[in-house]
Chain A
Amino acid sequence: MVGGGGIGGGLLENANPLIYERSGDRPVTEGEEDEQVPDSIDAREIFDLIRSINDPEHPLTLEELNVVEQVRVQVSDPESTVAVAFTPTIPHCSMATLIGLSIKVKLLRSLPQRFKMDVHITPGTHASEHAVNKQLADKERVAAALENTHLLEVVNQCLSARS
């Protein structure tokens, strides 16, 4: 099959997206260097996990496309809950489910098991918002999706470090 990315060979839906600046590495604080002080899991830490996920279509990260933003991450370490809202670049973006799935998988692989995760579309930013949210919230469907070699391949590509 010709064409990169493994998804369709056709034209990009949004060929010229607006590109946002990447934030730098989180500076290491003195507290973080101190073995005695516990650092709770905060919004920036969650954001750092997902901001470098690659977009399935563009050679850009979700952060550069403004699909994920730190303000749309809610986390409570003591209650073990995380909620991430993501914003597709266009309201009809067919990649929305895949992007949500990549975020979800990244969190599943990176967060302690005790966390309950909610990944959903920023309200009012996608035509099929509810359908996508429902799929992402369905544990069995997410598990089934990852059994699909083709889907897993695309998700892994999104989660691979850019060379």
Chain B
Amino acid sequence: MAAAAALEAVAPLGALWGLVQDFVMGQQEGPADQVAADVKSGSYTVLQVVEALGSSLENPEPRTRARGIQLLSQVLLQCHCLLLEKEVVHLILFYENRLKDHHLVIPSVLQGLRALSLCVALPPGLAVSVLKAIFQEVHVQSLPQVDRHTVYSIITNFMRTREEELKGLGADFTFGFIQVMDGEKDPRNLLVAFRIVYDLISRDYSLGPFVEELFEVTSCYFPIDFTPPPNDPHGIQREDLILSLRAVLASTPCFAEFLLPLLIEKVDSEILSAKLDSLQTLNACCAVYGQKELKDFLPSLWASIRREVFQTASERVEAEGLAALNSLTACLSRSVLRADAEDLLDSFLSNILQDCRHHLCEPDMKLVWPSAKLLQAAAGASARACDHITSNVLPLLLEQFHKHSQSNQRRTILEMILGFLKLQQKWSYEDKDERPLSGFKDQLCSLIFMALTDPNTQLQLVGIRTLTVLGAQPDLLSSGDLELAVGHLYRLSFLEEDSQSCRAAALEASGTLAAFYPVAFSTHLVPKLAEDLCTEESDLARGDGPTRCSRHPRCLQALSAVSTHPSIVKETLPLLLQHLCQMNRGSMSPGTSEVIAVCQSLQQVAEKCQRDPESCWYFHQTAVPCLLALAVQASMPEKEHSVLKKVLLEDEVLATVVSVIATATTHLSPDLATQSVAHIVPLFLDGNISFLPENSFSGRFQPFQDGSSGQRRLVALLMAFVCSLPRNVEIPQLNRLMRELLELSCCQSCPFSSTAAAKCFAGLLNKHPAGQQLDEFLQLAVDKVEAGLSSGPCRSQAFTLLLWVTKALVLRYHPLSSCLTDRLMGLLSDPELGPAAADGFSLLMSDCTDVLTRAGHAEVRIMFRQRFFTDNVPALVRGFHAAPQDVKPNYLKGLSHVLNRLPKPVLLPELPTLLPYKPQVIRALAKPLDDKKRLVRKEAVSARGEWFLLGSPGS
């Protein structure tokens, strides 16, 4: 029994001996992994491996010894978790001892120590012992790169797991490491070494008397000058080294006395990258430094930064210089001082002021802007700095504004003032009297108003921006100031065409300030605008044409621009709606563009209301019924249509009303939307007009029954509303609504109505949850399409329906979408519908603005274009080949629409599938180059040009 067990044990050991021989003497690499695997599987122990190696470990030939130790180390690297504490002790002793061995052996010894440094069973004391042995016996920098890297790894491993033990070594550890890394040249090793130094400092290892040495051994690489070799497989970039060295240098205030002179020296050098690196490093240091560290160097630092900003030709140096100054000032502002210490912040800022102040008085000279930027960089660092500088600079600039009379000089000065005012916004002052601007407010206002009345547009523009910034300061402007300001903005909103930029700026400023001061704008601006709207109508009656043209649209724009506060919307919206109604009643004839202008203004108000749920509902509740009432009235059969009525039903006007209603609906909460839908759907289905503000009409409203063509057109407004609702809002009488829409979409009405019905149907279909009802709707739609397409007068309508339903399904990845797409593709060879089908592919791939939009809560899967491409391009290409000559262009056109809308990264991998067709396509496209129509030639040229580039070098 015992003998059998012994035999079994011998058999694998015999194999082990063979493997060891093959590795050590046979110079084969494979056995190492085999031995490691056998140890892991328990076939034999590490001790048995050592015994098997036996003589090779002591072989007099160093190469053989190295080979033996290499095998052991490789096994340990894979099996270090299996080691017992006792084994570890022995192995460490062995390896430490071998560090004294021949240099050929050292790499393998280090590998073994690295394996042991990963070992959990390492008893206390041995980590220190290993490191001491390495520090003592190995001259690391004469080893090859890989072996140096191994040493860094051993240190890193011990630092990670034996921090307390290593700290017991005190400063000796730091000193030992300094010697290890001194002279390191390889970027890969430097990254690890910098990381070790960073950990030494940040984890509070004792640096003892070696602070300067540690600084020297790292700072000698500053500034990093390294260009990765071409085809560098290690991927180390210059930036990696810069950042990891910067982390070391800026990690401790202890380095300050050595680092700051070095940084000053390098900022002063001629090399751009050195300047940048130094300024950025200085910036980083300010996060850990205090006044104590900076004290002695402030004058030199300021001198260097000032010189760089004053003289530099590089914007990056300027930006880094300003950033460094900002950090320095922030650092000085932050430092906690002893009671008796002098606050360096004040003297530092005084220095800056002294060097920059006088340049501010020369708005024509080169240094004016650099000086302003320096002062602003410092002022932006803290409330105290801001206060100090602003209280010095503002009076000076105010005085200079008056001393200089030229508009462009004044503009420079005002722009500087603006910069300082903007900085104020960063700090909030609890106490009103502490606000540094309070004392200058009156002067600033009068200066801004001077600028606003200056003939120079640029000065006006800066004036408007300054007014906006000043107005954003809480509780600064008095009601008197505001009244004046509003007066100016009113005047500027009506500037002539050549001051377009000023007018736009004034409108924007009105919007911003109205949100802060709704009362001032309600009191002083809205009534004036209201009056303008009325006055002009009477002017018109007198035939005073030209004024209307210029003032009227501006008035509308101003009204929408100030609608930034809920209370103002409550005044502007009724004004706009009232104006629209009056156009309807009045005797004069409003043009299409004028009605559109009112709608656009409404649209802008609607957009502004979207941010606030309450305003959103107010707008919806007020505007939508009013617009619907006007439209319904316009659609009523009357003997004499007023002109507005006709205008309101025009395609273009209805399109703007559609976007107003959609914008007023998308942001409604589901609850409120449900309230609204309960009125609007019955209006269209049952002619229930009770909720409309004015509802005495001359006839019934029955857009889906036998209503007039005008009534049918209003289905577009129903579409605008129901297709913008949040998805979870239930639509009453949906089944009936869908059937009516289908009916209308294929009836021989005007294309506007049938298309609106098809889009509305598609929009609802897209959002409808999957299930039996959806399947029913789809079946109805397919039946309708097929019936319409088969023959007769409604083929084109049926096609439009097919197109929109397909789009609705493609967007949501509905399984039926592929059948419908195939149907659409089939129509490419239809003699009548082919060209329209080709264009249809463009619609399928593009984003709509009115229905099926993400904003309107449609289900739009992000990859739908890619998916459509993958699913359909092969069939399109096959279709192209199979098609008779006269319809081939339809397939090409369809294909190019699909390709056109596809993101390039998606298209590129697919190119090989297209390339075989390249010559054919290029040949086919030669013919339309000679088309008699220029627009056709233009498309052909662009398509052919793209095909030439397809898969060709350089494209």
Contacts and interface: CB of A to CB of B under 8 A. Distances in A.
A39 B954 contact: no
B953 A149 contact: yes
Interface in B899-955: 926, 929-930, 932-935, 937-938, 941, 944-945, 948-949, 952-955
A111 interface: yes
Contacts of A49: 941
A106 B945 CA distance: 8
B903 to A, nearest CB: 12
Contacts of A144: none
A65 interface: no
Interface string A25-50: 00010001101001101000100110
Contact of B926 (A6, A113, A159, A160): A113
B954 A45 contact: no
A110 B940 CA distance: 8
Contacts of A6: 954
Contacts of B953: 149-150, 152-153, 156
A73 interface: no
Interface in B830-874: none
B548 to A, nearest CB: 28
A56 to B, nearest CB: 11
Given A32-B935, A110-B941, A153 B954 contact: yes
Question: What does DSSP make chain A's interface, helix, strand, loop or mixed?
Answer: helix
Contacts of A154: 954
Contact of A112 (B926, B933, B949): B926
A49 B284 CA distance: 53
B148 to A, nearest CB: 31
Contacts of B926: 112-113
A32 B929 contact: no
Contact of A35 (B933, B934, B952, B955): B933
A155 interface: yes
Contacts of B944: 109-110
B952 A152 contact: yes
Contact of B948 (A109, A114, A149): A109
A89 interface: no
B955 to A, nearest CB: 5
Interface string B204-245: 000000000000000000000000000000000000000000
A112 B930 CA distance: 5
Interface residues of A, number: 28
Contact of B929 (A35, A111, A153, A160): A111
A33 B955 CA distance: 33
Contact of A160 (B930, B937, B938, B954): B954
A110 B941 CA distance: 5
B954 A152 contact: yes
A122 interface: no
A28 B938 CA distance: 12
A157 interface: yes
Interface in A104-159: 106, 109-114, 149-150, 152-157, 159
Given A28-B935, A38-B933, A109 B945 contact: yes
A153 B944 CA distance: 17
A159 B949 contact: yes
A32 B933 contact: yes
Given A109-B945, A112-B929, A156-B949, A39 B955 contact: no
Contacts of B932: 38-39
Contacts of B954: 6, 152-157, 160
7 contacts: A33-B935, A109-B941, A110-B929, A113-B926, A156-B952, A159-B949, A160-B949
Given A6-B954, A152-B952, A156-B954, 11 more contacts: A32-B933, A32-B935, A33-B935, A45-B934, A109-B941, A110-B929, A110-B941, A112-B929, A113-B926, A150-B953, A156-B952
The 5 closest A-B pairs by CB, nearest first: A153-B954, A156-B954, A112-B930, A38-B932, A153-B953
